[in-house]
Amino acid sequence: MRRYENINGEKPIIEVKEHHIPGSKHVILTFKNGYGASIIPEYHYPRHDKPMDSVKSRKVIPGLYEVAVFYNGELCYDTPLTNDTLRSKNDPEVQDIVQKIQRLEYMTIHHLHEEDH
């Protein structure tokens, strides 16, 4: 977790939880701007005839991650970075995304249209 201890001079709140795939971790970073990053391992579902068999046999893809943006503890799909979860990202890509999340500013409609004030 050392790589997340200092991002752009800020120490984010770091939560590490067990992920539902055995042996993998779920990392949640929260920044002063209210945004956060949820980082989990990328995984694939082997092909099976029964849907529940494939869920139980998910396998982590080493070195790849999924990153989701949070705002105030909830998934956020309307940022300039992305409107979805970012999948199949390697470690340098995750680092870059996390730094961009840390730099986000919350933009309201009123903030975007100052002439309305």
* Per-domain boundaries in the chain: 2-116
Tens digit of pLDDT for each residue in 92-101? 999 999 999 9
Tens digit of pLDDT for each residue in 16-47? 998 877 778 999 999 999 999 999 999 886 76
pLDDT, position 20: 78
Helix, strand, or coil (residue 37): strand
With residues binned 3-state (H G I as helix, E B as strand, rest as coil), the percentages for the chain, rounded to 5, are: 25, 35, 40
- b/e per residue 76-88 (b: at least 16 CB within 10 A): beeeeebeeebee
The pair phi, psi for residue 103, each rounded to 5°, is -90, -5
Tens digit of pLDDT for each residue in 46-88? 765 555 555 567 788 999 999 999 999 899 999 999 999 999 9
- Angle 30-33-38 from CA coordinates, rounded to 5°: 30
Determine the Cα–Cα distance for residues 6 and 47; give it in Å rounded to an integer: 40
Determine the Cα–Cα distance for residues 59 and 54; give it in Å rounded to an integer: 10
Could you give the percent of the chain with pLDDT greater than 90? 57
pLDDT, position 28: 96
User: Quick check: 116 pLDDT over 50?
Assistant: no
- pTM (predicted TM-score): 0.78
The length of the chain is 117
